[in-house]
């Protein structure tokens, strides 16, 4: 190293030598230096978080995707510079205090360790709180902060005993150029975190394209895994459930990118990480000691049935609560299936997804309704915006509510039960509706249709077949035939109003 420095121009070699001596004197480091650096790192983390809301407008631990570029850049700049200033002030204050006590200049060695520990703490907080994580942006922030600290420490703080306060003179052109380079670096980091890729480009369009690519990659990789789960076929028939699953997958994947999940898998083997896999699932209590982590596929197999349960709980709560003032809230059901208004629940999910996700996550502090809305648009666009008006599901969710009237199609709105047809059908109209779906259901549907067509007093209005859920025939007129149906069918005719 000495030969290399001697080959450089004298001023440059002298500056580099001073930098290496002031920042990397490992032979002079003691236990006290390490402990002070660790203590100052913790204090700096607390102070930076405390000062943040007062120092800049809209302070965030991590800027989310719905903040302005100006706010995001202010946050990036603050997170880079704030720990440098706070830690230098702490170290300087300690040196001044030691000087007054011992009457000689004393300082902590390897002060940059405190900055490195600060960023390790910040990374740990992000992981613990499952905040959206941009790994490249975070790494660049940490490196920029650490580099700035070393440069400031060696070129300014370490020279104060030698040159006095004149070291703070920043009128030279080189220093101004460093400021310009720093601003460009901040813009680059902001682009990595917020998502825009260049000047004059629409950030929303870039984010949408990036989101679509990510979601399509999920479908290519994991669609077959989701469909193989218990009740996984609903991923294809219920577009709202599909949006829920993809939203949770996207959020958890952004919180824990694949490199971080690989680290978690290693930590889980020694009991330091409890959630693993792309869906961030906890290992079950009866899991083998040899296997303490989930693969991405295994976590999906655990998560999808749980999300289906949470979704059905959401539907049941919406049906049993409220004042019943909206017909869109009405659910039709038997002990074997239920049907709900897709548009009404789509609107409800857009404003309540954060709460549903909070039940999955175990904390309801993260506002992610906007993420769900974007992914829901993706799911609908994938189907060319051709979504059903109602979604029918084969399930025993309302089995207890229909025990007394097991031979009827029931309705529920705001907790009030009723029979299908009282309000849904026009006077003089009727319905045949299967209470279940089995091998004989289609044969019996054909018999019903033939009988209604042969009757002059009836006209078929609609025939609806929901595979593996139900068959339904609505008609106008009166059907007086006794068809002796073997499967369970609900028949209802609404009488004409008396004149």
Between CA 192 and CA 137 the distance in angstroms is 5
pLDDT surpassing 90 at residue 380 = yes
Q: Which has the minimum average pLDDT: 32-36, 179-183, 357-361?
A: 179-183
Please determine, for residue 421, whether its predicted confidence score (pLDDT) is greater than 50: yes
pLDDT at 167 over 50: yes
Q: Do residues 226 and 304 touch, judged by C-beta distance below 8 A?
A: yes
pLDDT for position 201: 42
Residue 176, pLDDT above cutoff 70: no
Which of 95-99, 301-305, 437-441 has the least mean pLDDT?
Answer: 95-99
Least confident of 108-122, 311-325, 473-487: 473-487
Average pLDDT for residues 388-411, to the nearest whole number? 90
For residue 139, CA distances in Å to 64, 189, 308 come to 17, 9, 37
pLDDT at 406 over 60: yes
Which tokens go with 7?
């080959």
Most confident of 59-73, 99-113, 216-230, 358-372: 216-230
406-413 mean pLDDT: 92
Q: Decide which of 197 and 302 is more confident.
A: 302
Query: Which pLDDT value is given to residue 132?
Result: 52
- The CA radius of gyration of the chain, in Å to the nearest whole number, is 33
Angle at 56 between CA 152 and CA 80, to 5 degrees: 30
- pLDDT score recorded for residue 191: 56
Contact 189, 134 (CB under 8 A): no
CA torsion 171→172→175→176, rounded to 10°? 70
Q: What's the rounded Cα separation, in Å, for the pair 458 and 452?
A: 6
> Residue 177: what pLDDT?
44
Residue with tokens 């699932």: 281
pLDDT of residue 173: 41
Phi/psi for 66 (5° steps) reads -105, 20
Spatial contact of 402 and 410, defined as CB atoms under 8 Å apart:
yes
For residue 110, the model assigns a pLDDT of 81
160 versus 203: the higher-pLDDT residue is 160
Tally of residues, the chain: 499
DSSP letter at 180?
H
Residue of 391, 337, 133 lying closest to 254 (CA atoms): 133
Quote the pLDDT of residue 315.
95
Reduce the DSSP state of residue 391 to 3 states and report it.
strand
Q: Are 471 and 462 in contact (CB under 8 A)?
A: no
Q: What tokens does 483 get? A: 């068809």
Of 494, 495, 487, whose CA–CA distance to 334 is shortest? 487
Rounded (10°) angle between helices 369-382 and 342-361: 130
pLDDT for position 202: 44
Contact (Cβ atoms closer than 8 angstroms) between residue 371 and residue 255: no
Residue 305 has pLDDT above 90, yes or no: yes
Which has more pLDDT, 229 or 176?
A: 229
Rounded mean pLDDT, 405-418: 90
CB atoms near residue 124 (< 10 Å): 10
Pairwise CA distance, residues 62 & 366, whole Å = 12
At residue 262, the pLDDT reads: 84
Query: Residue 198's pLDDT is what?
Result: 40
Place of tokens 């003032």: 325
Rounded to whole angstroms, how far apart are CA atoms 393 and 417? Answer: 19
Lowest mean per-residue pLDDT among 56-60, 93-97, 457-461: 56-60
Record the tokens describing residue 294, joined without a space: 């989930």
Q: Residue 157 has what DSSP assignment?
A: G
What lies within 8 Å, CB to CB, of 235 at 6+ separation is 223, 226, 227, 241, 242, 245, 304
Query: What is the rounded average pLDDT of the residues 219-238?
Result: 93
Sheet with 331-333, strands from edge to edge, namely 390-394, 337-341, 331-333, 410-413, 416-419
The DSSP string of 430-441 is: EEEEESS--TTH
* Whole-number pLDDT of residue 64: 46
CA–CA separation, 292 vs 270, rounded Å? 9
- Residue corresponding to tokens 């509510």: 401
Give the per-residue pLDDT at 100. 83
H or E element, residue 101? helix 69-102
Residue in the block written with tokens 């949470």? 310
Give tens-digit pLDDT for 444-491. Answer: 999 999 999 988 889 999 999 997 899 999 999 988 777 777 668 999
pLDDT value at 496 more than 70: yes
The pLDDT value recorded for residue 210 is 82
Determine the average pLDDT of the residues in 413-417.
90
Share the mean pLDDT of the chain.
Answer: 80
In the block, which residue shows the tokens 């709560």? 317
Q: What is the mean pLDDT of residues 235-258?
A: 92
| Lowest mean per-residue pLDDT among 28-37, 219-228, 248-257 | 28-37
Which two tokens mark 19?
């930098």
Distance CA 70, CA 235 (A): 39
Share of the chain above pLDDT 90, in %: 36
- Give just the sign of the alpha carbon dihedral 6, 12, 18, 21: negative
Residue 85 has pLDDT above 70, yes or no: yes
Residues forming a β-bridge with 418: 411
Within 13 Å and on the Cβ side, how many CA atoms surround 440? 8
The residue that leads in pLDDT, 97 or 200, is 97
Report how far Cα 328 is from the mean position of its chain's Cα atoms. Answer: 28
pLDDT the model gives residue 16: 57
């Amino acid at each position: 190293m000495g030969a290399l420095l001697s080959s450089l121009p004298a001023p440059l070699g002298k500056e580099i030598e001073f930098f290496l001596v002031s920042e990397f004197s490992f032979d002079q480091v003691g236990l006290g230096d390490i402990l002070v650096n660790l203590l100052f790192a913790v204090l700096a983390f607390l102070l930076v978080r405390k000062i943040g809301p007062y120092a800049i407008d809209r302070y965030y631990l991590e800027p989310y995707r719905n903040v302005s570029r100006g706010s995001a850049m202010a946050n990036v700049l603050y997170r880079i510079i704030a720990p440098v200033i706070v830690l230098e002030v702490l170290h300087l204050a300690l040196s001044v205090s030691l000087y007054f006590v011992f009457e000689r200049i004393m300082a902590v060695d390897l002060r940059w360790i405190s900055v490195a520990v600060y960023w390790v703490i910040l990374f740990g907080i992000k992981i613990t709180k499952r905040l959206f994580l941009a790994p490249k942006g975070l790494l660049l922030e940490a490196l920029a902060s650490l580099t700035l600290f070393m440069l400031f420490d060696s070129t300014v703080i370490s020279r104060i005993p030698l040159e006095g306060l004149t070291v703070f003179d920043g009128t030279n052109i080189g220093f101004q150029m460093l400021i310009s380079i720093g601003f460009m670096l901040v813009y680059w980091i902001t682009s990595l975190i917020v998502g825009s890729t260049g000047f004059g480009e629409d950030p929303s369009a870039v984010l949408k394209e990036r989101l679509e690519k990510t979601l399509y990659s999920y479908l290519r990789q994991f669609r077959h895994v989701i469909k193989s789960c218990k009740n996984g076929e609903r991923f294809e028939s219920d577009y709202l459930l599909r949006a829920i699953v993809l939203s949770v997958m996207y959020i958890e994947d952004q919180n824990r990118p694949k490199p971080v999940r690989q680290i978690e898998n290693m930590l889980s083997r020694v009991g330091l990480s409890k959630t693993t896999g792309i869906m961030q699932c906890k290992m079950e209590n009866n899991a083998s000691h040899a296997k303490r982590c989930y693969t991405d596929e295994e976590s999906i197999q655990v998560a999808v049935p749980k999300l289906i349960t949470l979704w059905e709980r959401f539907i049941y709560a919406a049906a049993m609560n409220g004042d019943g003032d909206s017909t869109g809230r009405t659910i039709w059901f038997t002990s074997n299936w239920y049907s709900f208004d897709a548009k009404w629940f789509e609107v409800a999910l857009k404003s309540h997804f954060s709460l549903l996700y909070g039940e999955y996550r175990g904390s309801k502090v993260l506002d992610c309704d906007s993420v769900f809305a974007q992914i829901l648009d993706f799911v609908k666009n994938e189907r060319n915006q051709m979504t059903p008006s109602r979604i029918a599901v084969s399930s025993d969710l309302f089995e207890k509510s229909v025990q007394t009237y097991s031979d009827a199609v029931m309705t529920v709105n705001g907790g009030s039960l009723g029979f299908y047809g009282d309000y849904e059908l026009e006077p003089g109209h009727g319905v045949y509706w299967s209470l279940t779906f089995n091998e004989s259901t289609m044969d019996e549907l054909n018999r019903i249709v033939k009988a209604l067509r042969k009757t002059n007093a009836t006209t078929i209005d609609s025939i609806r077949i929901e595979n593996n859920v139900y068959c339904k025939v609505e008609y106008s007129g009166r059907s007086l035939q006794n068809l002796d149906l073997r499967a369970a069918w609900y028949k209802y005719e609404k009488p004409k109003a008396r004149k």
